[in-house]
Amino acid sequence: MLAIAPGHGVRYCRRRMPPIFWIGLGIAGFVVLVGAISGARSRSASLGSGALMGLYLGVMLAFPLLAIGLATS
């Protein structure tokens, strides 16, 4: 959204992200952290594979909140 301020020319005004987006991002981040820890402690998996699995599950779990937040920003 462009706004013209008197005497200052054209500047860009950006709305803040709604709190629902940050809640979804926090849920996804927590699940990534849990996946990384469980992957690091596993004998058959690694930290990287656990983090990737946590990333996938976290985004799928928090997707509705992330989508609502992005749509209303």
Per-residue pLDDT tens digits for 14-31: 678 889 999 999 999 999
Residue 47 included in any domain = yes
Residue 28 lies in a domain: yes
Specify the number of domains making up the chain.
1
**Could you tell me if residue 23 is inside a domain?**
yes
Where in the sequence is the domain holding 47, given as residue range(s)?
A: 16-71
Q: Which residues of 38-72 are buried (b: 16+ CB within 10 A; e: fewer)?
A: ebeeeeeeeeeebbbbbbeebbeebeebbeebeee
pLDDT at 17: 85
Domain annotation covers residue 7: no
Whether residue 11 lies inside any domain: the answer is: no
Instruction: Say if 3 falls within a structural domain.
Output: no
Q: Which of 28, 24, 56 is nearest to 48 (CA)?
A: 56
- Res. 9: pLDDT tops 70: no
Q: What CA dihedral angle connects 22, 24, 27 and 32, to 10 degrees?
A: -100
Q: Tens digit of pLDDT for each residue in 25-64?
A: 999 999 999 999 999 999 999 999 999 999 999 999 999 9
